[in-house]
Structures are given as C-alpha cells and as structure tokens.
Chain A
Amino acid sequence: MSLLAQAAEVAAGDTAEVVLFWVFAVLALGAAIAVITMRNIVHGALMLVLNFLAIAGLFLTLESPFLSIIQVLVYAGAIMVLFLFVVMLLGVDNDDLLGADNRVRVAAIAGGGLLAGAIVFTFVGPYTSEASICGPDAVAATGDQVDCVGLSQVYDEDDGAGAAFLGRAMFTRYTYPFELSALLLTVATIGATIMARRRDLAPEDEDEADAGHLPDDPDAPMEAGRELPIPISELIGDTDATKPDSMAEELSQRRPDDREV
C-alpha cells in the first residue's frame, strides 16, 4: 500500500478533505499573492513553487493522485527549474518593475476584484450546497443545486492513483491529441533553440558574419551597453531615427544604467 493510496484514502474521508482543502487553499492563495507582489524574482519563483505544490495537494483531495505527481514533477520540478535558470542567466533577480502608474495599479486591482466577485457570485449557491459534496453517499440535488459524482467508484480496484483510468482515456479516445502534443513539444524545443541563439553577440563571429553591421570605429562608445554593439535603429529595422515617436530614438537614449537593476 503506497503512500499515495493512503493519501487518497484520507482524501475520501469527509473531515480530512475539508481540513486539507483549507490548508492547501490558504497556501495556494497566499503563495499566489506573494508571486505577484514580491520584488525579488527568485523569491517570487520560489513562492510559485509553493503554489504549485499546494495545487498538487489539492489534486490529491480531488481524488487525482496521478495528476498530483505530474504537477510536482513537471511544474514544480522542470518548469520552475527553467524559470530559475533564466532568471539566474540574465542576472535580473532584483527587479523593481512594478507598474509605476498608480492609476493602472488601482484599475488592475479593481478589475481583478470585480472578476473575483463575479466568479464567487456565480458559484456560491448551486455548487456549494450539501448536494455538491462528492461521493456515492451524498445528498441528492434539489432545485438548481449541482450534484457531484466523485471518482472513487469509477477507479479500478487496484488503481489507487487513477493512472489506469486516465491512461485508458488517453490512449483510446485521445490518441491523436496525445501524439500531436509530442509533435508540439518537438517544435517548441527547436523553436526555442533557434530563438535563443545569440548570433549577433558571438565574439568570434564579430569580424566575419557581422562586419557589415558593426560600427567602423572600434572605439565608438556603445551607448546601449554590452548587449548592444549594433545601433538599435539597425537592429529593429527602424532607420528613420530622426522621426519623433521613433522607437529607435527612444531606445538609443536609454542608457544601460537606466535599467532599474
């Protein structure tokens, strides 16, 4: 008897589920708020991991232990490692790029609150009654109440994590999307490889490949810092840098130290 099966057993129990739900819910919401408010990106990323783990816990209470494992492996493991790697690579861990404008901040929070209120308003009532408690022995739904079937009775006897249940659907009805998702991952990998190449910065290529783009005078001050050996106007194809509103002009005036590091 694995730990997961025990956890699922616990989740099925009414009281335990309520306790676990509230614990994980508070954790998830708190971590989410921390993600969007913390100025240090590394801290924010760690808070996101916490959020993911809390959601993994919620998957357990939702009788889906297999998804819970996937969530931990893929999200908390692979994806967050990638995030942290990029943060470290670019050296932008200390970030102050909050929305500077107070009006935007107020509008965003007000809009978010409105949306949240609408969602709560939608679900409270029909979905939160006694009838919506999952399991075979639940109260029957009346009026506009919504019944919850639950998963315990559809899983096989020896399929505690629901993996066989999920796998059957995945490899029968959803075979083609499954194969397509493999293709999608391949394409994404190739695309990312191509996009992330620093072809304009490779030091050994400077003489040959990009000779035409480089300033003739090697002592010329590089306004945009180490990342920008090439005039911005050329990079973005905006040659008319004299034009007001021009992207290139604006960027040229932005010195590297202007960046809020």
Chain B
Amino acid sequence: MPIGYYFILSGLMFTIGLTGVMLRRNAIVLFMCVELMLNSVNLTLAAAARMWGGPDGQVFVFFVIVVAAAEVVVGLALIVNLFFRRGTIDVDVPQLLRF
C-alpha cells in the first residue's frame, strides 16, 4: 500500500474533525472532534515512522497520546466547571472576552 494513502486518510480525518469543531456548539462534542484531529495526526506520525524506517514518529505518537490524556483530563474538568457555573456546555455562551 503506498504510504500516501495513509497521509490522505489522516488528512481527511483531520478535516472532518475540524469541520466538527466548526459545526457543533456542545463542548463535549467539540472535545471529541479535537480527539479526532489528534488521532489523525497520530496516524500521520506512525505512517511517517514507517516511511523513514525510524523510531521517532512512533515516539511522537506515544507523547501525543500522553499529552492528549492530560488535555482531556483538564478539558473535561473545565467543562464540568463551566456547566456548574453556567448551567450549560454551549461554547457560544461564555463570551466574556467579547468586545
């Protein structure tokens, strides 16, 4: 299988995740879309590792997974906090930084 197909696949998945971020207002779904994007990047890294025949890409996948775990923990805590304070998880509601 030519390695380019993996790249194309992960690119499409990344685009889907991005479109999801744009479309949805639910913070949890937003997070799931971000996870999609992260996974597509993981796929790219793994494919690149195979392409170059080296360990670096795999190591990076490993680190991305670690960071993603941390990010999810903090992000979900934020969502819980937001829900307790605002009674909603609509990301359009907190607009304190609005002009």
Contacts and interface: CB of A to CB of B under 8 A. Distances in A.
Interface of A: 14, 17-18, 21, 25, 28-29, 32-33, 35-36, 41, 44-45, 48, 51-52, 55, 58-59, 61-64, 66-67, 70-71, 74-75, 78-79, 82-83, 86-87, 89-90, 92, 95, 97-100, 104-105, 107-109, 111-113, 115-116, 119-120, 123-130, 132-134, 146, 148-151, 153-154, 162, 165-166, 168-170, 174, 177, 181, 184-185, 187-189, 191-193, 195-196, 198, 200-201, 224-225, 227-228, 235-236, 238, 245, 247, 251, 254, 256, 259
A132 B50 CA distance: 11
A67 B49 CA distance: 12
How many of chain B's residues touch chain A, expressed as a range?
35 or more
A260 to B, nearest CB: 8
Contacts of A192: 73-74, 76-77
A59 B46 contact: yes
B58 to A, nearest CB: 5
Interface of B: 1-9, 11-20, 22-26, 28-29, 31-33, 35-36, 39, 42-43, 46-47, 49-56, 58-59, 61-63, 65-74, 76-81, 83-90, 93, 95-96, 98
Nearest to A259: B88
Main secondary structure on B side of the interface with A: helix
Main secondary structure on A side of the interface with B: helix
A67 B1 contact: no
